[in-house]
A = this chain, B = another copy of it.
């Protein structure tokens, strides 16, 4: 069995790996986990001895098959718990993260399979991220950032890149939800803000907002 700390490192490496084909650097892990590079170095040694990652000093790390399996199952648990909190316990999507960070470490295969069934085998978490099934498989949907769309183009909002509470609350205030159709009306060269039409309303949003909304591409 693995400690919560080990699981957190594996999850961080798993998520950082998905955005680069190179190994993951010590510093990147440290930043992601808000810890010191020296602590990461120590943990890398431990995980390496346990054959959960591959590691050569001064080079990045990669997950082994087993490391990836564990990381993926932690992600699965995290996202299933998020669905539970939102669907069953009236949490809003900006409140779930910290609790799911705790719940993802509960050890019980039966618990997670039953929870999955209880929730109706959801495919996405409240932020639009895919939930791996028990074998680690998940469906990748073609998507792009709203900031990449040109005036006249449109699509369905299917996820958020940043799932910080502040960003999600902003979306709530603007009544922007997953599943909404968003059409880009115009782009403002001066500040890169864009004018969109969403759900019959028109709205002006900044470049930063547009860079954190995923749009399904047909």
Partner-binding segment picked from A28-36, A83-91, A133-141, A177-185: A83-91
Could you tell me if B88 and A110 are in contact, using CB atoms closer than 8 angstroms? no
Q: Does A42 contact B (CB under 8 A)?
A: no
Partner-binding segment picked from A11-19, A43-51, A101-109: A101-109
B-facing residues in A51-74 (Cβ within 8 Å): none
Identity of the chain B residue whose Cβ is nearest the Cβ of A114 in the assembled complex: B89
Q: Does A142 contact B (CB under 8 A)?
A: no
Which of B91, B103, B108, B114 touches A106 (beta carbons < 8 Å)? B103
Q: How far, in whole Å, are A158 and B138 apart by their CA atoms in the complex?
A: 46
Q: How far, in whole Å, are A40 and B90 apart by their CA atoms in the complex?
A: 40
Could you tell me if A90 and B108 are in contact, using CB atoms closer than 8 angstroms? no
Q: Which of A89, A103, A107, A114 has the most C-beta atoms of chain B within 10 angstroms of its own C-beta?
A: A89
Q: Is the interface of A mostly helix, strand, loop or mixed?
A: helix
Closest-CB distance, A204 to chain B (whole angstroms): 34
Which of B88, B91, B106, B118 touches A102 (beta carbons < 8 Å)? B106
Could you tell me if B88 and A118 are in contact, using CB atoms closer than 8 angstroms? yes
Q: Does A98 contact B (CB under 8 A)?
A: yes
Q: Mask for A103-137, Cβ within 8 A of B = 1, else 0?
A: 10011101100110010000000000000000000
Could you tell me if B106 and A99 are in contact, using CB atoms closer than 8 angstroms? yes
Closest-CB distance, A176 to chain B (whole angstroms): 24
- 21 A–B contact pairs at CB < 8 A? A85-B111, A88-B118, A89-B110, A89-B111, A89-B114, A89-B115, A89-B118, A90-B114, A91-B110, A91-B114, A95-B110, A98-B108, A99-B106, A99-B108, A99-B110, A99-B111, A102-B106, A102-B107, A102-B108, A103-B103, A103-B106
Task: List residues of chain A with CB under 8 Å of any chain B CB.
Answer: 85, 88-91, 95, 98-99, 102-103, 106-108, 110-111, 114-115, 118
